[in-house]
Chain A
Amino acid sequence: MKYVDEFRDPRKADRLLREIRALAGHIAVCRTRPLQIMEVCGGHTHAIFKWGLEGLLPDAVELVHGPGCPVCVLPMGRVDDCVALAEHANVVLATFGDAIRVPGSKKSLLQAKADGADVRIVYSPLDALKIARQNPGKEVVFFALGFETTMPSTAFTVLQAEREGIRNFSLLCNHITIIATIKAILDSPELTLDGFLGPGHVSMVIGTGPYRFIPEHYQKPVVVAGFEPLDILQSLAMVLRQLAENRRMVENQYRRVVPEDGNGPALAAIARVFELREFFEWRGLGSIDHSGVRVRESYARFDAERRFALPGLKIADPKACQCGEVLKGVIKPWQCKVFGGACTPETPLGALMVSSEGACAAYYNYGGGRRRPERAGVPRPAGGL
């Protein structure tokens, strides 16, 4: 058992697709528009495109690609803060790889690096701590990003730094929480969603309990899903079965990874180091209450926001961007006015074109199978489509 191939078996996929078609056919009888199911997590979006799953679904089922790409939803002002930090003469800025290309209002971290800033790619916040240990004369700042998935490793790193008495390490905290965001989407007046694929890795930390308000208050089914193609297809079938049987509940397809109660020690570390912000600004979605966390007062010396003077400016999203409507499933990526024209993966205007997990970038790069947008008139990148 390699824990990979087993979840990519085409014959099993075929059985699941038959089931999805049958269920969708059954539900569609009394409907005028397709069922819209949102995969909240960018990892799901990426997998759906990578495996060409969307093109295999019946017309009655539409996937809406949610806001769960922490790189995509990072507002420009926060990137600017990070660039300003990186440009401090004595600062080493450590970041995850895919944050390095995110455009700020003037430049990305990659451009700042080319201009002489000391920006280093790390695979874990512990690597950033190691850099701090090796460079006691420098201030090492970790660009902390992500949902509850990456929050525990950041929290444990802070606790480790505290234990070791390291004084030249801090973080620029941009961690965000998924629940407040799902709620904001559900409260949107334009909402047309019928169900959710819940994020697998976030749930590994928080468990499945926090999603109960979705069936209870909004009467929408939620299935916490894994990231392999069979995980995603099975989870879709489970959502459809709930709809067909008129049930609304939280189900856990990703049991091999997600415990119902989440991960206790991880949650405890998060609670010890972080506290909720009153609100946090999202690229594409605007300000959402209680959707971000900051470092608690008791760990202030590890908080770059407190230790350094930052510009802290709010930069409005470009007016032409329709990321918010795409995120809520109101329009498809290619229906956005700037998709493929002014906004491409090389020159992203909007949040969703920024990272490979963003819905627009995925559509642009992978073509989206059967429902591929018309690309006539779309300028082609040099050397190929």
Chain B
Amino acid sequence: MMRRPRREVRDTRVTLAHGSGGKAMHDLIEDVFAGVFDNAALDPLEDQARLPLADLAAQGDRLAFTTDSYVVDPLFFPGGDVGRLAVAGTVNDLAVGGAVPLYLSCAVIAEEGLDIAMLRRVARSMRDTADEAGVKVVTGDTKVVPRGAADKLFVNTAGIGVIPAGVSIAAGRARPGDAILVNGTLGDHGTAILQQRADLGLAARIASDCRPLNGLVAALLAACPDVHCLRDATRGGVATVLNEFAGASGRCLRVVERELPVADEVRGVCELLGLDPLYVANEGKLVAIVPGADADRALAAMRSHPAGRDAAIIGEVVDEPAETVLLQTPFGGARILDMLVGEQLPRIC
């Protein structure tokens, strides 16, 4: 069959016409998105992707389905961009449920006047990240809103994955004696964004840790199939995830401050601004709780994967005090590590 040549966008900026449903919109979708994502499920450009059930059923016994919207400012930052974030974030939400991520959607809301070259860069970054994670973007949507009605570009992705039989990961499964692990340094993403946004004039070079974690999770599950809890530590940081686990399981999570991996640059910026890296966002970090007997094996599996080189065992699950995260300071003192109230704000002095 002859393929007709792809449509091309000639404008340099997004206009309301690109969201109008007419020719301009088709040009934009085909040129900027379909041409870049380019796969068999997307190619017919029907109103929906059609996914063979048999392929899914062969890989597991449950579907995992999730969605997330990405509204980061600035759109491009050291270590990533909104496109990489939108793919990695949704892939990670699937992966930490033990699912093998397979298909994503991509819906964008663009502000009138957005540079089309910028949109292209975002789409290419999404494709590259999808390739890295081994997933396909199979359906999408484009909307354009008048100037001022959105901030440059919002991206939503939804994702489908398959959970292999036997995998059972849940926040409530933490048991006394379990070990708590993280896959690397904490607070990199939030600090990188803050540094970009606040115009602080600091010399520290901090890159976001934004990356898909499904490969790491697969390696972890291969070494330790009975992972009890797994969650990626995005907004609210590791402290928030630990509190979610403590709340859902009714146990106490004892974390040893000295064992927490934090990059020197991140620690420096946080010290200066009065922030706690435990509450700062990550985009490529997860917290895992595994049976104590499997801890060393889980750690070795994480460390052998590129996304887990700085993995560490940071604490253990005990019975009391119930529903509490306790942080053991280097001096033998302990304090409660609570959920954050509101936003973490820099202190004045």
Contact = CB atoms under 8 A, between A and B. Distances in A.
Interface of A: 2, 4, 8, 10, 13-14, 17, 42-43, 46, 49-56, 70-71, 96-101, 110, 121, 123, 127, 145-147, 149-150, 201, 229, 345-346, 355-357, 365-369, 380-385
B348 A99 contact: yes
Contacts of A14: 331
Contacts of B273: 123
Interface string B298-341: 00000000000000000000000101110101111111101101
Nearest to B198: A123
Interface stretch (B45-53, B146-154, B242-250): B242-250
Given A123-B200, A385-B323, A51 B348 contact: no
Given A381-B341, A383-B339, A56 B349 contact: no
A201 B349 contact: yes
Contacts of B58: none
A380 B334 CA distance: 20
A70 B333 CA distance: 27
26 contacts: A2-B264, A4-B271, A10-B332, A50-B329, A52-B327, A56-B332, A70-B348, A70-B349, A96-B348, A97-B345, A97-B347, A123-B198, A123-B273, A123-B346, A149-B349, A150-B348, A229-B329, A345-B341, A355-B347, A356-B347, A365-B338, A383-B243, A384-B338, A385-B323, A385-B325, A385-B336
Contacts of B336: 365-367, 385
Interface of B is mostly: loop
Most chain A CB atoms below 10 A, which of B338, B345, B348: B348
Nearest to B272: A123
B244 to A, nearest CB: 6
A52 B349 CA distance: 20
Contacts of B199: 127
A384 B339 contact: yes
B349 A381 contact: no
A50 B335 contact: yes
A346 B347 contact: no
B7 interface: no
Nearest to B330: A10
B348 A71 contact: yes
Nearest first, the 9 A-B pairs at minimum CB distance are A52-B333, A97-B345, A367-B336, A384-B243, A96-B348, A366-B335, A97-B346, A52-B329, A345-B341
Nearest to B323: A385
A112 B148 CA distance: 20
Contact of B345 (A121, A149, A229, A384): A121
Interface residues on B, range: 20 to 34
B267 interface: yes
A357 B335 contact: no
A101 B349 contact: no
Nearest to A364: B338
Nearest to B334: A52
Nearest to B341: A345
Contact of A383 (B244, B329, B349): B244
A56 B333 contact: yes
A367 B252 CA distance: 14
Contact of B331 (A70, A123, A229): A229
Given A49-B335, A385-B246, 11 more contacts: A14-B331, A55-B334, A56-B333, A98-B348, A127-B199, A146-B349, A150-B348, A229-B331, A381-B341, A384-B323, A384-B324
A369 B333 CA distance: 7
A201 B332 CA distance: 27
Contacts of B323: 380, 384-385
B233 to A, nearest CB: 15
A309 to B, nearest CB: 27
A172 to B, nearest CB: 15
A2 B267 CA distance: 11
B322 to A, nearest CB: 9
Given A367-B335, A381-B338, A381-B339, A8 B330 contact: yes
Contacts of A17: 331
B5 interface: no
B44 interface: no
Contacts of A96: 346, 348
A55 B329 CA distance: 11
Contacts of B338: 365-366, 381, 384-385
B346 A98 contact: yes
Contacts of B335: 49-50, 52, 366-369
Given A383-B243, A383-B247, A385-B338, A53 B349 contact: no
A370 to B, nearest CB: 8
B22 interface: no
B342 interface: yes
Nearest to B333: A52
Interface in B184-222: 198-200
Given A52-B329, A384-B243, A384-B323, A101 B342 contact: yes
A51 B333 contact: yes
Contacts of B264: 2
A14 B331 CA distance: 7
A115 to B, nearest CB: 17
Contacts of A71: 348
Given A4-B271, A53-B331, A381-B338, A98 B345 contact: yes
Most chain A CB atoms below 10 A, which of B264, B331, B338: B331
Given A4-B271, A381-B338, A146 B332 contact: no
Contacts of A42: 349
B239 to A, nearest CB: 10
A4 B327 CA distance: 19
B125 to A, nearest CB: 29
Nearest to A344: B341
B347 A145 contact: no
A375 to B, nearest CB: 9
Contacts of B339: 381-384
B324 A100 contact: no
Contact of B329 (A51, A345, A382): A51
Given A4-B271, A383-B247, A13 B345 contact: no
A346 B335 CA distance: 20
Contact of A369 (B334, B345, B347): B334
Contacts of B333: 51-56, 369
B290 to A, nearest CB: 22
